[in-house]
Amino acid sequence: MSALRRLPELVGPAALVVACALLGSGVSGSLQPYFLDTLVKVSIVVALYVFIGNSGVLSFGHISFVALGAWTAGVLTMERSAKPAIMPGLAHFLLVTNVGNVPSLALAAGVGAVAALVVGLPLMRLSGLAAGIATFGVLEIVNNVLTYDQSIGPGENAFSSVPQTTGIWQAAVGALICVAVAFVYQRSRFGRMLRATREDPAAAAAAGISIYRQRLLAFTVSGGLAGFAGGLYIHLLSLQAGSLYLDLTFITLAMLVVGGSASLLGAVVGALAVSGLDSFFSAATNGVDLLGWHLTVPVGTAEIVVGTLMALVLVLRPSGLTGGRELSLPRRRRRAGAPSAPEPAA
Amino acid sequence: MTAALVVDGLRVRYGAVDAVRGLSLEVGRGEIVGLIGPNGAGKSSTLHAIMGAAPVVGGDVRLDGVSLLGRRSEDVARRGVALVPEGRRIFGELSVEENLRLGLAARRSRRNGNGLERAYALFPVLREYRSRQAAALSGGQQQQLAIGRALVAQPEVLLLDEPSLGLAPKMVDLVFETLVRIRAEGLAVLLVEQRAQRTVALADRSYVLANGELRLVLGPQDADDTERLVAAYLA
Amino acid sequence: MTVVGFLNLTWPTFANGLALGGVYALMAVGIGLVFGVLRLVNFAYGQLIMAGGFALAYGAQWGLPNWVSILFCFGVVLALSALLDQLVFRPLRTHSPAVMLVATFAVAFLLQNVALLAFGPLGKSAGSLALLNQPWDIGGVFVKKIAVISVATAAGCLALLQLLLTRTPVGLHMRAAAMDFQTARLLGMRANRVIGGAVLVSGVFAAVAAVMLSVQEITVTWTFGLQDTIYVLAGVVLGGLNRPVPATLGGFAIGFASGILGGALPSSQSQYLPSFLFAAVIVVLLVRPNGLFTRGGGAVERV
């Protein structure tokens, strides 16, 4: 019966996603983009969580996998007639190949996973600050290459003429897939082994757990999810290399930190809460009506609010809104007090 | 003999582990007091607790009647308690003289001019190597440096954490002789050691610690009573 | 007139390289000092420089004499630096270096967007010091005044720093704290003073960098200093994060290379420079990850 016991851990986050989707499908056309964006962000943050939450190691570089996934899906689904104009230097193979919506997402996930595997092979030996800086380097490299390499994508140009197939249901299903994969992973013995290395590296190593291998597995899975999320993203917005770089890294990390980096619920809650705030204040730059008041804020307010929130959470409550806890059945006595924000595991 | 340092019912706990359970001891001026016991007995923890570098959950530590608990390490040092840490912890990349100068931070008055003189007088080899990188010194010389560094601050209490560890016999002799000289100058010395026999022979009295608790107090006359020593360790 | 033929390197470009190298060397010190005593990588360092840049811009706008503007710049940077230390660095001292990096990352974005809000996307002109961008005629070669002044200032600052570190007690403590913080405390080192001192010097260098950069950039925008910080960070990691001299050299090297290559190489070849740079950083981290951070233990000791 232990599988059933754990079900709230999956159902909670999934229900939140579905609720968001339902809400999003009911609002007016001008508000719907915010919900779509939120749902894709949930996918990204869950991808981040699969690695950071389970291993306790900071990765600054996951958005590079999102970018690679976006590039893959975008290049392969862009209207063939538009390709030469937007991507003049494109390699011939990419010029002539087009795939459908779902295959593009699958390929995006595949590219993300492979890239993560390649990056992870050397990098998973690192912990703490070294891992943070090294993964940041990966972000820089990928951004640099994607910005200037015209043979694999639009370079500095924005992706356009990509079919906008990420509607409310694709975004929701995508997020649910990510949540489900994250749940299956963390309940699997691999996920549990990795979490053991986070709690007590010495004991885990003594028990024969290979920290390196478990981290590499989580990194690869999370890279795949990130790539998948990138595929969802490119079918939603006309993206550029610059929009898949520091700003997105910052906001997705903020979402994870604020929600609570040690739990799946935290990832989803954080993404929804912070995205809600961000969307609200972004919309408010054009004026919103709230409870009878008309509110207009200057550009940049959203980022200030999120940044302040993130800093406050780190200082005052590092374990985030959820305290790193998952949703569980009330009868069960769970050990309270999960670990806090990412710390070096070994 | 006024007790300079009083440890009163000290309890130290690291997480779920009680390292020290209600230890009480006293060190007076012009005394060497030994603290011996097997590995993990809580000896180092006691010294760290005195220096404000260990989680104390009960009891008190007093210097001349004033409690040291809750103070930061640097404040304890500035009040006149100096520690010679386990493993010496000298700054290998700094010169010998710079290492000594670091000890001056805890000095409470500038009365006695060049504080480094005391270290050089006690350990002439330090004067000879004053400009050399500390990492170039031998183990025994580094130990002299560590002790000298503690003394330049002119402390009232000197704590030593296993100074003889890894030293050649001649060096151990030197260290112990130095302690006798320091005692003669009126310092209160608390010596944590693994070498039970030599410590018991040297010290005015020795506390035997095992599993965080005080087992026995021995005097120099017990130094040759190996049975008693062993029994105390294994109890 | 070329110095090195194939690189199309001219004296002015060489001088620019030296100038940028000098600025980056100062920034490297600022980042490295604070890392040494706090084990904190201050991602928001660029924003201190940005604040200084805006202070200079306002000074120019208010028609203040240059030296007053510069003083104002120093004041603003040091105040902001102290504020960051109190509000962010101190509360976070017990956390791991990785968490501290994330926190300063958040602060960097926060400050950037505050600047966007306050000064708009176009920024302000730090105009009046632009006179220094005029060239000097040295033996028939035109070298920008600011290049010479940059190099001289950087060299002077570094020399003063070296004096501070080797001849003063607080400097000695800063070096010791970077090696073994806990033991230094046990010897009586006043932790807060030493940390405060490092933050202060780091702030001073940020202010100097702000002055030098704003002369070259002319316009101060909300993104001022961010890319520079990223490159300097790479240089410092390459040099060795916890060793002051190599870190400074690392910063200098990056700045010098950027300055030269920016002017000497056609852009098609220098585009991928960041990739090579960060690939080198990753290699260094893999080869000696411990060399960066093991001195003196973890984060908890700083409480």
Angle (deg, nearest 10), helices A32-55 and A211-234: 170
**C170 CB within 8 Å of a chain A CB:** no
| Cβ atoms of A255 and A274 closer than 8 Å | yes
Under the banding of pLDDT at 50, 70 and 90, the label for residue C127 is low
For residue B139, the number of C-alpha atoms closer than 13 Å in the C-beta half-sphere is 12
Which of C39, C43, C89, C96 best tests the A interface by mutation, with the highest count of A CBs <10 A?
Answer: C96
Closest-CA residue of C relative to A309 is C106
Percentage above 90 pLDDT, chain C: 26
State the Cα angle at A134 between A264 and C92, rounded to 5°: 65
pLDDT at site C263: 63
Question: Which residue from C51, C104, C56 is spatially nearest to C216, judged by alpha carbons?
Answer: C56
Across A226-255, average pLDDT: 92
The least confident of A147-151, A204-208, B2-6, B182-186 is: B2-6
The verdict on B73 touching C (C-beta cutoff 8 Å) is: yes
* pLDDT of the residue at A339: 42
Residue C289 has pLDDT above 70, yes or no: no
Contact call for C289 and A132, based on CB within 8 A: no
Nearest by CB to C113, from A141, A300, A342: name it: A300
Distance from the A316 Cα atom to the nearest Cα atom in chain C, whole angstroms: 9
Mean pLDDT comparison of A151-165, B140-154, C237-251, highest-scoring range: B140-154
Q: What is the torsional sign of CA A258, A263, A265, A267? A: positive
Name the residue facing A140 among C271, C274, C285 (closest C-beta): C274
Note the pLDDT of residue A342: 43
Tens-place pLDDT, residues C65-89: 888 888 999 999 999 999 999 988 8
Q: Give contacts of B102 with chain C, Cβ < 8 Å.
A: 172-173, 176, 184, 187, 189
* Confidence at residue C295, expressed as pLDDT on a 0 to 100 scale: 42
Give me the number of domains chain C comprises.
1
pLDDT class of C299 with cuts at 50, 70, 90:
very low
Six-digit token pair at B92? 């290998």
CA proximity to A220, closest of A35, A47, A337, A100: A47
Chain B positions in Cβ-Cβ contact with residue C173 (cut-off 8 Å)? 102, 105
| Interchain CB contact of C300 with B (< 8 Å) | no
> What is the reported pLDDT for B111?
62
Position C218 pLDDT exceeds 80: no
A307 vs C: CB within 8 A = yes
Structure confidence at residue A294 as a pLDDT band (50, 70, 90): confident
pLDDT digits over A105-142, tens only? 999 999 999 999 999 999 998 888 888 899 999 999 99
CB contact under 8 A, A250 and C117: no
Is the ipTM of this structure higher than 0.90? Answer: no
Decide if C166 contacts C260 (C-beta within 8 A). no
Give the span between the Cα atoms of B105 and C104, in whole angstroms. 32
State the residue for tokens 């300055």.
C259
More confident residue, C262 or C256: C256
Other beta carbons within 10 Å of A315: 15
pLDDT band at C265 (very low <50, low <70, confident <90, very high): low
pLDDT tier at C301, thresholds 50, 70, 90? very low
Does residue C190 sit at the B interface (CB-CB below 8 Å)?
A: yes
Residue pLDDT, tens place only, B8-50: 999 999 988 899 999 999 999 999 999 998 888 889 999 999 9
> Using CA atoms, how far apart are residues B166 and C103, in angstroms rounded to an integer?
43
Average pLDDT score, chain B:
89
Buried b (16+ CB within 10 A) or exposed e, B162-189: bbbeebeeebbebbbebbeebbeeebbb
Judge whether residue A346 has pLDDT over 50.
no
Residue C142 near chain A (CB below 8 Å) = no
Across A208-217, B109-118, C55-64, C140-149, the highest mean pLDDT is recorded for: A208-217
Q: Is A23 exposed, middle or buried (0-12, 13-18, 19+ CB in 10 A)?
A: middle
Distance from CA of A239 to the nearest CA of C (A): 21
Task: Tell me if chain C has a CB within 8 Å of the CB of A208.
Answer: no
Runs of H (alpha helix) within A200-295? 201-206, 211-234, 246-259, 264-284
CB contact under 8 A, C172 and B149: no
Task: Give the integer Cα–Cα distance in Å for C65 and C70.
Answer: 9
Q: Are C252 and C13 in contact (CB under 8 A)?
A: no
Is residue A334 over pLDDT 70? no
The residue of chain B nearest to residue C243, with distances taken between CA atoms, is B93
Tokens for B60, please give them: 């008190």
CB A340 within 8 A of CB A125: no
In percent, the amount of chain B with pLDDT more than 70 equals 96
Q: What is the pLDDT of residues C81-116, one digit of tens each?
A: 999 999 888 888 777 777 888 889 899 999 998 998
C-alpha dihedral, A4 to A10 to A16 to A22, nearest 10°? -80
Summarize the confidence of residues B126-138 as an average pLDDT. 92
Q: Which of C22, C24, C4 shows the shortest CA–CA distance to C225? A: C24
The vertex-C85 CA angle with C80 and C88, nearest 5°, equals 105
At residue B167, does pLDDT exceed 80?
A: yes
Check residue C299 and report its DSSP letter.
S
Arithmetic mean of pLDDT, B92-121: 84
- A138 to C91: CB separation less than 8 angstroms, yes or no: no
Q: Please say if the pLDDT value at position B114 is more than 80.
A: no
CATH number at residue C114: 1.10.3470
User: B interface mutation test: which of C37, C174, C186 has the most B CBs within 10 A?
Assistant: C186
Query: Which of C199, C197, C174, C198 minimizes the C-alpha distance to C184?
Result: C174
What pLDDT does C267 receive? 62
Tell which of C43, C113, C117 to mutate to test the A interface (max A CBs under 10 Å): C113
CATH 3.30.530.20 fits B3-80+156-234, yes or no: no
**With bands split at pLDDT 50, 70 and 90, how would you rate the model's confidence at A299?**
confident
Q: Which of C37, C43, C31 is nearest to C103 (CA)?
A: C43
pLDDT score for B211: 87
- C66 closest CA partner among C215, C200, C178, C199: C215
A46: nearest Cα among A225, A310, A254, A235: A225
Does the pLDDT at position C140 exceed 60? Answer: no
Lowest pLDDT segment from A19-33, A54-68, B123-137, C122-136: C122-136
- In single-letter form, the type of residue at position B14 comes to Y
Containing C98, the helix (H) or strand (E) segment is helix C97-119
Q: Taking a C-beta distance cutoff of 8 angstroms, is the pair A281, A305 a contact? A: yes
- Give the pLDDT band (50/70/90) at residue C137: low
Residue C155 CA to residue A48 CA, distance in Å, equals 44
Give the single-character DSSP code of A327.
P
Query: A129, C293: Cβ pair inside 8 Å?
Result: yes
Residue predicted with more confidence, A189 or A292: A189
Say if C105 is an interface residue toward chain A (CB within 8 Å): yes
Find the mean pLDDT for residues A325-331.
Answer: 71
Cβ–Cβ < 8 Å for B189, B158: yes
pTM for this predicted structure: 0.85
d(CA A154, CA B120): 72
Rounded percentage of chain C residues whose pLDDT exceeds 70? 83
With the CA atoms of A285, A290, A294 and A300 taken in that order, what torsion angle do they form, in degrees rounded to the nearest 10?
-20
Question: 3-state secondary structure string, C251-275?
Answer: HHHHHHHHHHHHHHCCHHHHCCHHH
Chain C: residue whose CA lies nearest to A256: C102
* Residue B230, pLDDT score: 76
The answer on pLDDT for B149 being more than 60 is yes
Out of B83, B94, B105, closest to residue C189 by CB = B105
- Check residues B2 and A28 and name the one with the higher pLDDT: A28
pLDDT bucket at C298, cuts 50 / 70 / 90: very low
Domain range for C79: 2-302
First CA to last CA across chain A, in angstroms? 34
Query: Taking 60 as the threshold, does the pLDDT of residue C130 lie above it?
Result: no
As beta bridge partners, residue B157 has: B81, B188
Q: A253 to each of A42, A123, A307, C23, how far by Cα in Å? A: 12, 19, 10, 31
The per-residue pLDDT for C297 is 38
For residue A335, pLDDT beyond 50 = no
Is some CB atom of chain A closer than 8 A to the CB atom of C234? yes
CATH class of A2-245: mainly alpha
Chains A and B touch, using 3 or more CB pairs below 8 Å: no
Q: What local confidence, expressed as pLDDT, does residue A177 receive?
A: 95
